[in-house]
Amino acid sequence: MKNLVTGGAGFLGSHICERLLDQGHEVICLDNFFTGSKQNIAHLLGNPDFELMRQDVTDPFKVEVDRIYNMACPASPVHYQYNPIKTVKTSVMGAINCLGLAKRVGARILQASTSEVYGDPEIHPQPESYRGNVNPIGLRACYDEGKRCAETLFFDYHRENKVDTRVVRIFNTYGPRMSPDDGRVVSNFIVQALRGEDLTLYGDGSQTRSFCYVDDLVEAILRTMEQDETVGPVNIGNPVEFTIRELAEKVLDKVGSSSKIVEKPLPSDDPTQRKPDISLAKQALGWEPQVQLADGLELTIPYFRKAIGC
């Protein structure tokens, strides 16, 4: 099977490339290196089944493939808010380019959507049927609405053009190959704890998130792609919920750090709670997460220790 992974040099994309190569498939990794890095795929470059394409997903491109994993998009609020208009273009024009390609070559295509389509949810936990509570004009809208529009495009291409689509809604995922300056909470806290710096808790830390380890996530994505019944959207995440303050305390404990936790202003529209209902993933994919947060942090901390030389 020949696979295209857009955003393949990023955190999740590089793990998908690696898993597909391990399974004996061919992989084309497309990336503009906005938040991804050559480091993430350096170990794959010598593999004859691996090809790297420096390319922006918003510009047209042609390749012959059987599967498309559309992962290209900055995922950290810091990075997607850096150039919000570009973020919308990446989600919307990127989806159009990938769907057009899938239609032309008859490839099956999967979209990396997000729990952000639920915005600041009033229903808890969030099932796929919940339509969300997104502020369309806020600072997070470039990402949230871009991803919502990408979902719309996926379902319209599916209905109108019979494109073989899959949509997964990914909840907060962490693990090795996140960039140390990614800006998301798990990487920030681990790096700060390792450096002996204060942990920056936004708000009072009572907001919640549910953290999925990368290996669990990749397994669910590959299963979604290779089953025939469920187009999606399918929630993928770990349903065990933590407050952000609990996460900070856990990281300090696991790193063995005496850093302090300091409160910083809460960014606008920061969702107060988030936890996936994964009933559909359990039933359609026979999947549920295997790695809980304490173990996942132990697998992740050594990576950051090496990456920042602490």
Q: Which does 73 bind (CB under 5 to 8 A by kind): ligand NAD, ligand UDP, none?
A: ligand NAD
Question: What distance in Å separates the CA atoms of residue 242 and residue 247, rounded to the nearest whole number?
Answer: 7
Note whether 43 and 96 are within 8 A (CB): no
Is 85 exposed, middle or buried, given 0-12, 13-18 or 19+ CB atoms closer than 10 A? exposed
Q: Among 146, 163, 147, which Cα is nearest to 155's?
A: 163
- Among 188, 210, 235, 300, which residue interacts with ligand UDP (rule: CB under 6 A)? 188
Of the pair 77, 205, the CB lying nearest ligand NAD is at: 77
Q: Which does 81 bind (CB under 5 to 8 A by kind): ligand NAD, ligand UDP, none?
A: none
Of the pair 257, 300, the CB lying nearest ligand NAD is at: 300
Is there a catalytic annotation at residue 118?
Answer: no
207 lies in the binding site for ligand UDP (CB under 6 A): yes
Q: Which does 128 bind (CB under 5 to 8 A by kind): ligand NAD, ligand UDP, none?
A: none
For the chain, counts of helices (H) and of strands (E): 10, 13
Of the pair 94, 205, the CB lying nearest ligand NAD is at: 94
First to last CA, the chain: 41
Note whether 119 and 271 are within 8 A (CB): yes
Contact residues toward ligand NAD (CB under 6 A) are 6-7, 9-13, 31-36, 56-58, 71-75, 90, 112, 114, 170, 172-173
Note whether 154 and 268 are within 8 A (CB): no
Q: Which does 17 bind (CB under 5 to 8 A by kind): ligand NAD, ligand UDP, none?
A: none
Residue of 69, 143, 157, 213 marked catalytic: 143
Of the pair 58, 230, the CB lying nearest ligand NAD is at: 58
Give phi and psi for 157, each to the nearest 5: -65, -35
Question: What distance in Å separates the CA atoms of residue 195 and residue 99, rounded to the nearest whole number?
Answer: 43
Give residues in contact with ligand UDP (CB under 6 A): 76-77, 172, 184-185, 188, 200-202, 207, 209, 244, 267, 270
Residues noted as catalytic: 143
